[in-house]
Amino acid sequence: MKKLRLALVFGAMAGLASAGGATENRGLPGNGPAAYKEDGRYFTEDGVPTYFIAEDGTVDWMTFSGFRRYHSECHVCHGPDGMGSTYAPPLKDAVERMDYYDFVYTVSNGIQNVDASHQKVMPTFGQNKNVMCYVDDIYVYLKARGDGALERGRPAKREDKTDAISAFEAECMAGG
Amino acid sequence: MKKLIAFTSVAALCAGSAALANDELLELMNDPTQWVIQTGNYANHRFSGLDQINRENVGNLQVAWTFSTGVLRGHEGSPLVIGDTMYVHTPFPNIVYALDLSNNGKIKWKYEPQQDSSVIPVMCCDTVNRGVAYANGTIFLHQADTTIVALDAETGAVKWSAVNGDPAIGETNTATVLPVGDNVIVGISGGEFGVRGHVTAYNMETGELVWRGYSMGPDSDTLMDPENTTHLGKPVGVDSGTATWEGDQWKIGGGTTWGWYSYDPDLNLVYYGTGNPSTWNPSQRPGDNRWSMTIFARDADTGMAKWVYQMTPHDEWDYDGVNEMILTEQEVDGQMRKLLTHFDRNGLAYTLDRETGELLVAEKYDPAVNWTTGVDMDPNSPTFGRPAVVPEFSTAQNGEDVNTTGICPAALGTKDQQPAAYSPRTQTFYVPTNHVCMDYEPFRVSYTAGQPYVGATLSMYPAPDSHGGMGNFIAWDNIKGEIKWSIPEQFSVWSGALATAGDVVFYGTLEGLLKAVDAETGEELYSFKTPSGIIGNVMSYEHDGKQYIGILSGVGGWAGIGLAAGLTNPNDGLGAVGGYAALSDYTALGGQLTVFKLPD
């Protein structure tokens, strides 16, 4: 049940492959996991957010945005470029082990793993708009890193931000 | 006025016994066989008067004994030695061990507090703790969750505890405390969580709050006198702690106080620096953001600010001003002066008159520093005391959503908290430094209590067009404002230095090496690989007529977060993959104390 509930919550929140958007580019070029594009966001065959990197290295807006948000909200524990630190594990590898829904669940609810030999504690970000309004961005960025599709550092070229993404961002950051 | 009267009356009540507590601690500090305060002495010299180990024989140093702390994570600070007992602390869960030096390091007692583990992730950069303090037969521990505990030094029994902050809104602690007179003076962390920084004095015997001075807010909060508190020689004016903020932003203004404190017993002034204003996005907080990024001189008994100096008005790079203030008596232009020397995160080393706050020297202590062309030293200029910001490297002028590239130093600063040492014999400062630059892109964030409040993306990389390493260990002349010599290091030097009367200077490296160098020339005389990277501070003591050198290993801290995976330079362009040396190729977690001596 846990998965389903979250899928509903965040599906509603992020406009996950929902009706009303302009679906385009069925059958995208390249070997990436993206199956289709909608309002500047890319999705897999299963309707899960993912990255898209063109042959000339241009990354989609969400991946670029994820790079920025990751290095504001996550890297102080998880290290630069999703590489991990002496403090917390590499998230570029975590997204290869867990699926999108588990990722969103963990970010929302945090982790408590404390005993004699572990002190792994991640806070709950469910109330933090700087994280939750960009959780898809962060996920697709890390997925691109984990798949080996994106090198370390700031992506050199990116797609433009679409009006739909701007509108979602404004609504999410303003919402209660 | 009510507050002020309360402070005065408490101060008057305590004045009788203040001298006693001070005298005992001062006496102990002057005894080089013991190491009774994290900073070596009140002046933060980190100098040992012992000379058995000297530059002729330090090459023969060997390991005398070791001790595992049983804790992973970053080990900052150092042990204390009082009499025959050594006190060793750990990062979270903040264990304290009392070791019997006369009985092969047998554990006399161990104290382990019970803390809510939810404090762990609100400590922005690892669960470090910079050690315990001692006064009046009591060990003072300031835990991660901001609980201050007074422990009987003989038995470890809790005498009292007090709570200084609330981790639920991001208030935590990493620093040691400063025992002065009848009080212990403590700071607070959480600048990345929108905490409003403050410094608080608790009565040493009872744990009662005596005074609290905030970094920003109305005068009743900042404990400032509009007429008599001065900034660069001029009165600060009414409510200077709110006047340079927009609206109520000062309430989440940052300016935390997690550095090393120093104290001048003659002037009865406590010195410390305040951290960055939150958020890291300067466009969201117009104004000078006073008194973040500021050197404070406060009266030890009342907390009233005597003078302040804001080094980086309206911070645009996260250059916290918390680094230690080192107090010296030196000749300037033929006159003996009471000086304060401070190596700031912003890459400038400041020398001030600590009685008046007069600015004497402000010079770069890493030639790579480029965000400023220097500080205006003309007292008649309207921008007196301000750094001239280079527009190309101004994240505020370039604005939100713009990636400002090639800024030196990085947010780590040319130096972070890792404290420098001063040898009165050479009148030289020995400074562990970072040699790292960054790209910085600020953007808009919203504030939620207890959640990170950052608002910038950073990429860091070794200073370009230099030796390729990420650190230097330098010798500094604070009167001329010049580097005497500089030792390039592969990684940031994140360990506190120790200078000794044997004319040897010790420091640790992130790879885990304990190094000894000649105080005059910087020539390396000894090096030993300890079990883990060193971010602790070197200390020295004597037992049964023999001099020992002690150092905590245990990689972590911000260095462990930033450098574990290595850094990449985006300016290298596509194809230059892999980044610079990864710390994880050299060392792994693990807390251990290593103690060195000369062969018998």
pTM listed for this prediction:
0.91
The pLDDT value given to residue B21 = 56
Q: Which of B141-150, B247-256, B509-518, B568-577 has the lowest mean pLDDT?
A: B568-577
The pLDDT value given to residue A121 = 84
Give the residue with greater pLDDT, B444 vs B529.
Answer: B529
**Chain A residues with CB inside 8 Å of B92's CB?**
119
pLDDT digits (tens, 9 = 90+) for A70-112: 988 898 889 889 998 888 899 999 999 999 999 999 999 998 8
| B192 marked as part of a ligand binding site | yes
Q: Is the pLDDT of residue B1 over 70?
A: no
Reported confidence tier of residue A17, pLDDT bands at 50, 70, 90: very low
pLDDT digits (tens, 9 = 90+) for B436-446: 999 999 988 88
The pLDDT value given to residue A4 = 39
The pLDDT value given to residue B51 = 98
Q: Is the pLDDT of residue A118 over 50?
A: yes
- Tell me the residue range of the domain where A26 lies: 2-167
Sign of CA dihedral A12, A13, A16, A19: positive
Instruction: Examine residue A176 and state whether it is found in any structural domain, yes or no.
Output: no
pLDDT digits (tens, 9 = 90+) for B50-73: 999 999 999 999 999 999 999 988
Query: For A129, which of B122, B448, B456 is closest by C-beta distance?
Result: B448
Reported confidence tier of residue B103, pLDDT bands at 50, 70, 90: very high
Count CB-CB contacts under 10 A for residue A155: 21
Mean pLDDT of B245-261: 95
The pLDDT value given to residue A27 = 60
- Tell me the residue range of the domain where B35 lies: 2-109+118-597
Reported confidence tier of residue B563, pLDDT bands at 50, 70, 90: confident
Mean pLDDT of B122-138: 89
> Cα dist. B270→B186, B242, B266, B441, B592 in Å?
11, 23, 11, 36, 32
The pLDDT value given to residue B443 = 86
CATH of the domain at B488: 2.140.10.10
Query: For B456, which of A72, A110, A112 is closest by C-beta distance?
Result: A72
CB contact under 8 A, B452 and A73: yes
Instruction: Examine residue A137 and state whether it is found in any structural domain, yes or no.
Output: yes
Q: Is the pLDDT of residue B347 over 70?
A: yes
Exposure on the CB side of residue B144, measured as CA atoms within 13 A: 26
B578, closest residue in chain A (CA to CA): A152
Question: What CA–CA distance (Å, rounded) separates B251 from B53?
Answer: 51
With contact defined as beta carbons under 8 Å apart, do B96 and B158 qualify?
no
Sign of CA dihedral B582, B588, B593, B595: negative
Residue count (chain B): 600
With contact defined as beta carbons under 8 Å apart, do B150 and B161 qualify?
yes
Reported confidence tier of residue A8, pLDDT bands at 50, 70, 90: very low
pLDDT digits (tens, 9 = 90+) for B207-249: 999 999 999 999 999 999 999 999 999 999 999 999 999 999 9
pLDDT digits (tens, 9 = 90+) for B366-417: 999 999 999 999 999 999 999 999 999 999 999 988 999 999 999 999 999 9
Is the previous residue joined to B279 through a cis bond, with omega within 30 degrees of 0? yes
Question: What CA–CA distance (Å, rounded) separates B177 from B207?
Answer: 13
Residue B37 tokens read as 């305060």
Structure-token match 């703790």, residue found: B129
Mean pLDDT of B79-91: 97
CB contact under 8 A, B568 and A112: no
**In chain A, what percentage of residues exceed pLDDT 70?**
80
Reported confidence tier of residue B565, pLDDT bands at 50, 70, 90: confident
Q: Is the pLDDT of residue A15 over 90?
A: no
Instruction: Examine residue A129 and state whether it is found in any structural domain, yes or no.
Output: yes
CB contact under 8 A, B589 and A86: yes
Residue B573 tokens read as 């362009």
With contact defined as beta carbons under 8 Å apart, do B138 and B132 qualify?
no
Average model confidence (pLDDT) across chain B = 92
Q: Is the pLDDT of residue B138 over 50?
A: yes
> Cα dist. A176→A133, B309, B382, B421, B448 in Å?
12, 41, 45, 51, 12
Q: Is the pLDDT of residue B14 over 60?
A: no
Torsion of CA B153, B154, B159, B161, to 10 degrees: 40
CB contact under 8 A, B574 and A151: yes
With contact defined as beta carbons under 8 Å apart, do B589 and B510 qualify?
no
pLDDT digits (tens, 9 = 90+) for B303-317: 999 999 999 999 999
Q: Is the pLDDT of residue B127 over 90?
A: no
The pLDDT value given to residue B279 = 86
Starting at the edge strand that comes first in sequence, how are the strands of the sheet with A41-43 ordered? A23-24, A36-38, A41-43, A49-50
CATH of the domain at A153: 1.10.760
| B256 marked as part of a ligand binding site | yes
The pLDDT value given to residue A24 = 55
Q: Is the pLDDT of residue A63 over 90?
A: yes
The residue among B445, B491, B569, B589 with the most chain A CBs within 10 A of its CB, best to mutate, is B445
A123, closest residue in chain B (CA to CA): B121
The pLDDT value given to residue A174 = 87
| B542 marked as part of a ligand binding site | no
Number of domains in chain B: 1
**Chain B residues with CB inside 8 Å of A73's CB?**
452, 454
Reported confidence tier of residue B10, pLDDT bands at 50, 70, 90: very low
Q: What is the CA radius of gyration of chain A?
A: 16
Identify whether B318 is a catalytic site residue.
Answer: yes
Give the residue with greater pLDDT, A14 vs B333.
Answer: B333
**Chain B residues with CB inside 8 Å of A154's CB?**
403, 439, 459, 570
CB contact under 8 A, A72 and B192: no
CB contact under 8 A, B125 and A76: yes
A129, closest residue in chain B (CA to CA): B446
Q: Which of A3-7, A58-62, B359-363 has the lowest mean pLDDT?
A: A3-7
Tell me the three state secondary structure of residue A59. Answer: strand
**Chain B residues with CB inside 8 Å of A128's CB?**
448, 451-452
Q: CA of B532 to nearest chain A CA: how many angstroms apart? A: 12
| B248 marked as part of a ligand binding site | no
Number of H helices, E strands in chain B: 5, 40
Mean pLDDT of A128-151: 95
pLDDT digits (tens, 9 = 90+) for B429-475: 999 999 999 999 998 888 888 777 788 888 888 999 999 899 999 99
Catalytic one of B318, B320, B344, B416: B318
Per residue in B354-373, is it b (16+ CB within 10 Å) or e — as a string? bbebbbbbbbbbbebbbbbe
The pLDDT value given to residue A111 = 87
Mean pLDDT of B137-166: 97
Residue B462 contacts by C-beta under 8 Å, 6 or more apart in sequence?
Answer: B435, B436, B437, B468, B469, B470, B567, B569, B580
Number of domains in chain A: 1
